[in-house]
Chains A and B, each alone.
Chain A
Amino acid sequence: MPTQTTGRTLLSLVLGLLFASMAAMGSCPGDFHVLLGQLQKQAHAMQDPSSLLDPYMRIQGLDFPQLREHCTERPGTFPSEGALRGLGRRSFLRTLDATLGLVLRRLAAVQQQLPEAGRLGRPPAARLRAQDLEMLKMARLNIHGLRNNIFCMSRLLGSSWDAAEPTQAAPGTSPPPTPDPGAFQRKLEGCRFLRGYHRVLSSAGQVFGKWGKSPSQGHRHRPPRALPEDASRARPSRRGRRLVPRGQLPR
């Protein structure tokens, strides 16, 4: 628990700083549809495995048919599309933000394990590796961008992000110590994690698409106010239950 508390605090601090900086910059679009369009485009672009999973698999040497077949999302790592659809908008945004935060941290951990190409003696391989590493960096930037827009959408919906309940998947949450499964299993787990990441972004895109079709939500920017959670869409049994990613990208 102390670890979780520390993680939550840290997440709140990070998000708070991020939101404060964004608010200071005043860079949030004021139009709901504009912002929603951006979110949809971002989700659509980032659901493409070529933006992250494929470079990761190439770097790790997993881009072989036998391995591709088995690089499937581990159930329960990320919330399903149905679960996301069942969430209220603010909960959905929080969940998505938490998911992306987790992915960011895992990506950072992975990148730390990957030294730069350097002189490897085989220029084509070194170039390819450098390109893939660059794509990983870009993926991280894209995730940051998406999170910024999630923040803006949250504000547009009148949600006070600071008051939002911290997600359960707080950073720094460490699973109980287990025997080292070995680099191969860690590679494979990372692959499955990223597969789930792309899937959850695809699901998020679907959810955002539903938002666009809902006429009652197509309002202009209003001053931030605490909109009531879309209680009618949240099942009572799920009230208070937060869907957060549970999976961990192997360190």
Chain B
Amino acid sequence: MLLRDCPVISKRKPESMALFAVFQTTFLLTLLSLRTHQSEVLAEHLPLTPEALKVSVNSAQQCLHLQWTVHNLPYNQEFKMIFQIQISRTETSNVIWMGNYSTTMKRNETVHWSWESELPLECAAHFVRIRSVVDDARFPEWNFWSSWSSWQEVNVQDSTGQDTLFVFPKDKLVEEGSNITICYISGNIQNDISCYLEGEQIHGEQLDPHVSTFKLENVPFIRKGGTNIYCEEKQRKAISNGTVLFVSKVLEEPKDFSCETRDFKTLICTWDPGANTALDWSKQPSQSYTLFESYSGKKKHCEEKNRCNWQITQDSQEIYNFTLITENYLRKRSVNLLFNLTHRVHPMSPFSVQFENISATSAVMTWKVHSLGDYFTLLCQVELHGEGKMIQHNVSVKANGKYLLNELEPNTEYVAQVHCADDNHFWKWSEWSGRDFTTPEAAPSEAPDVWRTMKSGSHNVTLFWKPLSKFHANGKILFYNVAVENLDKPSRLEHRSIPAPANSTELTLDGCSYQIRVTASNSAGASPAAVIVVSAAPGNKEIEEEIIEGTEDGFSMSWKPQSGDVMGYVVEWCDRPQDPLCDFQWKKLGPNTTSTVISSDAFRPGVQYNFRIYELSTKRIAHLLERKTGYTRELAPSDNPHVVTNNLTSHSFTLSWKNYSTKSQPAFIRGYHVYLKSKEEQCQPGAEKAVLPDDTVCCQYKIDNPEQKTFTVENLKPESFYEFLVTPHTSFSEGPSGTFTKVRTPDEYPYMLVHVIVPVVICVVLLVCGCLLKSQWMKDKCYPDIPDPYKSSVLSLIKSKENPHRTIMSISDCIPDAIEVVNKQEGSKIQSLGTRKSLTEPELTKLSYLYLLPTEKNYSGPGPCICFENYTYNQAASDCASCGHAPVSPEAPPSQWGLLTSSENLLKALEKNYMNSLGEIPAGETTLNYVSQLASPMSGDKDSLSTNALVPPPCSEYKMQMAVPLCLASPPPTENSDLSSITLLGPSEHYR
């Protein structure tokens, strides 16, 4: 229950005081005499019960407005009374509130009183009754409670239909954080109704079968459109009704309330309004702001929410007491501000900012200010911004300001600005007013930093210089002047001008010493000269390179001075050593410095940097002092060497990676690891077992010399597979786990065979070649050509015979040189054959042979014999085998024996073919049949031998020739025929 929000009003009706004055005395005298009696009568009979009780309703504010009167007050004078009020809900017996209300009143006067209900009045019927008591010490006899007035019923929502549902309160405006009770009234008590607050179901309590209430505490602000509360009937599945709770944000007190003047005509008051409490549907507009000045009593409604202008009157009011009042429908707040106008002067911005007499190092700044009167002095602050720096100066100004800006830098853009404030009572600076200006150029103030490189073995000097800093350049450098002076012999100075922004030039000098002077020039002049001397004898001695460890911050190095007469030291290096241009750098150090740290943003891990430290003599001649090399951070080698396998034997092979450069690696190569995988479990001496990242075990050979780029793996097994990997290692890691290369050791026997067979083959080849070369000689010696029978004179005799098909040589036709007829006994034949007897038939037909013995004079010794078949003797041609030049001696070489043995078989086969041929081929069809044979002593026929005991000629070989008809040139493909055919091919194919 709230009382404060409901207006409580008490009123008294005007009385006619004149009438009262006339009759007052008369009545009092009468009444006084009857005082006691009257009191008793009043107590018993005068009804002081409140009457004419009327109750009205303000639904929006949920207020009950009560008014009543007490007619029976005895005297027309004020009585101090207490009214006791009872309020019931739903039914009279359900008293929900009872309280007293004290007031003074007269008879027939109407009393007003209000009561605010926390429950919307529409949610339930309310009943009100009142009783009173006179609480006046003057009338103690009336100090008793009157009877209760009759109950007055208040029923706002009395028309609830069967299917209607109402939600109350409607569109209520509350402040964020308030507690509020809502209710719904349903005409149908059977409906199951659910209510939701912003989509979330809320639960309440049932007031009666038709009414349920929901208490919402500390309601939040959700949106300007209000918080939606709605109820739906489950059965109808329809939104039955709802309401919107318009929750306003709490009105904030204005912050930073301040007033000031810029021209003594207007006061500008500003503040931070805080949150806007406006709500949609015109439920609450934005909060309003009103300015009230207590001294003048003036008030102004502010149009804007955060500022208000107040006109200063000319009545010389200096002190102002402002109250800023803000209010909305729910709340009102205010803040005060008391100030002296002259202390709240915020000057306007200076204007007409100018610069005069601008030189390279100074300028004069002038400006004007808006006058505030003769008695006002302004404090102006000049700020100079340039080159990333800021300088402030303070100046007191009446009307026009002026300030000398000095110590400026040449060729520099500056921004100068000024603002002012009341010098007497500082309140606020004005806004800045400013302009920029640029100082002109001046000659460079410092010599360029010059250094040189010299190619060894030549007189070419590359001169480098660093661009001057902006601070020293004093303008844009246009060109660099290089003057070269020969120190060894007087000559004319050589000048060279190199346009900027070049930073190097190449000089070709002779063997003399030169002094080189370099200056930088801009539009204002030239810089001091940088002097460097190139000595005729550079004295580049061999200096060992020292390894240094770098860090991410650079390379720390120190050196030992060699001579005391030193002008300084220079450290030179390349920022990008892999690039052809290398980005040459140098650092000059003083004579007392023997250590430094070289750092560069260009330094990268895994790149080897080489440093040279020079000593500069007082004659400005540089001598190489030390050499350093190192990495800012060594990285693991990214590549393994490309390995070639050499000298592969059954027990070893050699690995070679001579093309692997240790200089271009991302770290100092300290050596190599050779990994060898094999099926052997044990590693060879010199190797140790190692476990690879893939958990395989192998043997590791360590090579600690980075320049050793070959390695021989020994003690291997023949015919075995091996896998190897060569990887470099640095001080902290090794190369990547690359792919192993497979090698198979060869078999050792072929190796031996190669060593034995090759010489033998070579010898044989040589022998054969020799034989071939001497073939004619061999032929002549061993098997001379058989004479052609057709070319013999014997042919002339044949033509005259009866049988043209048979050529029979008659002895009489021959003109022999010598004829020897030998009739040898069989026994001698057998005897002569010796152990070879088994090879011949036991009974040999007797053959008669005609031996033609050469008659040449030069014939000496056993020569070839010719044995012609003589059919007239009816002897088998095979008997011709018995002819020979010479008996075969048992001392003949094995090969010869073999050949002979072959000849025997051959001859046997030939015999057979031959005989068959003779039997099958008519003699007349054969143009010429002859058998020429170098008779062998073993091939004779026993019978023939017995009848024709020929003495075999001393012939060690056989030769058979047979002319056959063409039709017989291709005998059946039998083994023998093969042999025969081969044999019959020609004389050159013998003994194959």
Write the residues of chain A forming the contact surface with B, with a CB cutoff of 8 angstroms.
Answer: 59-62, 64-67, 70, 113-115, 118-121, 125, 129, 180, 182-188
Contacts and interface: CB of A to CB of B under 8 A. Distances in A.
Given A62-B228, A118-B278, A129 B223 contact: yes
A29 to B, nearest CB: 40
B242 interface: yes
Interface string B231-246: 0100000110111101
A61 B242 contact: no
B276 A120 contact: yes
A7 to B, nearest CB: 24
B437 interface: no
28 contacts: A61-B222, A61-B227, A61-B228, A64-B198, A64-B228, A66-B196, A66-B199, A67-B199, A113-B282, A115-B279, A115-B280, A115-B285, A118-B275, A118-B276, A118-B278, A119-B273, A120-B224, A120-B249, A129-B223, A182-B170, A182-B171, A183-B243, A183-B244, A184-B167, A184-B171, A184-B228, A184-B241, A187-B225
A66 B276 contact: no
Interface of B: 167, 170-171, 196, 198-199, 221-230, 232, 238-239, 241-244, 246, 249, 273-276, 278-283, 285-286
Contacts of A118: 275-276, 278, 286
Nearest to A64: B199
A154 to B, nearest CB: 37
A115 B286 contact: yes
B228 A187 contact: yes
Contacts of B228: 60-62, 64, 67, 184, 187
Contacts of B225: 59-61, 114, 187
Contacts of B221: 120-121
B223 A182 contact: no
A187 B239 contact: no
Contacts of B232: 66, 70
Contact of B280 (A113, A125, A184): A113
Contact of A70 (B167, B239, B280): B239
Given A66-B239, A119-B275, A61 B223 contact: yes
Contact of A185 (B242, B276, B278, B283): B242
A67 B274 contact: no
A182 B246 CA distance: 12
A183 B169 CA distance: 11
B230 A61 contact: no
A129 B276 CA distance: 14
B314 to A, nearest CB: 38
Nearest to A112: B282
Contacts of A64: 196, 198-199, 228
A11 to B, nearest CB: 26
Contact of A115 (B224, B238, B273): B224
B199 A114 contact: no
Contact of A120 (B229, B275, B281, B283): B275
Given A67-B230, A121-B249, A187-B228, A115 B278 contact: yes
A183 B239 CA distance: 14
Nearest to A186: B281
Contacts of B246: 183
Contacts of A119: 273-276
B275 A121 contact: yes
A180 B226 CA distance: 17
Contacts of B281: 113, 183, 186
Nearest to B238: A70
Given A113-B280, A185-B242, 19 more contacts: A60-B225, A60-B228, A61-B198, A61-B227, A66-B196, A67-B199, A70-B232, A114-B225, A114-B280, A115-B278, A118-B276, A119-B275, A119-B276, A120-B249, A121-B221, A129-B224, A183-B244, A183-B283, A184-B167
A183 B241 CA distance: 11
Contact of A183 (B223, B226, B274): B226
A65 B170 contact: no
B230 A66 contact: yes
Contacts of A115: 224, 276, 278-280, 285-286
A125 B281 CA distance: 18
Contacts of B241: 184-185
A64 B221 CA distance: 18
B861 to A, nearest CB: 130
A118 B276 CA distance: 6
Contacts of B280: 59-60, 113-115
A183 B278 CA distance: 16
Nearest to A65: B199
Nearest to B249: A121
A249 B279 CA distance: 19
Nearest to A114: B280
User: What 10 A-B pairs have minimum CB-CB distances, sorted nearest first?
Assistant: A118-B276, A64-B199, A184-B242, A183-B244, A70-B239, A115-B278, A182-B170, A183-B171, A60-B225, A121-B275
A245 B947 CA distance: 158
A120 B252 CA distance: 12
A242 to B, nearest CB: 32
Nearest to B284: A115
Contacts of A62: 228
Given A61-B198, A66-B232, A67-B230, A184 B243 contact: yes
B670 to A, nearest CB: 63
Contact of B223 (A70, A125, A184): A125
Contacts of B229: 184
A60 B241 CA distance: 16
Nearest to B194: A66
A130 B476 CA distance: 54
Contacts of B283: 183
A114 B280 CA distance: 5
A57 to B, nearest CB: 10
B224 A184 contact: no
Contacts of A180: 170
A70 B240 CA distance: 10
B509 to A, nearest CB: 74
A162 to B, nearest CB: 37
A240 B122 CA distance: 48
A125 B275 CA distance: 13
Contacts of A61: 198, 222-223, 225-228
A118 to B, nearest CB: 4
A59 B225 CA distance: 7
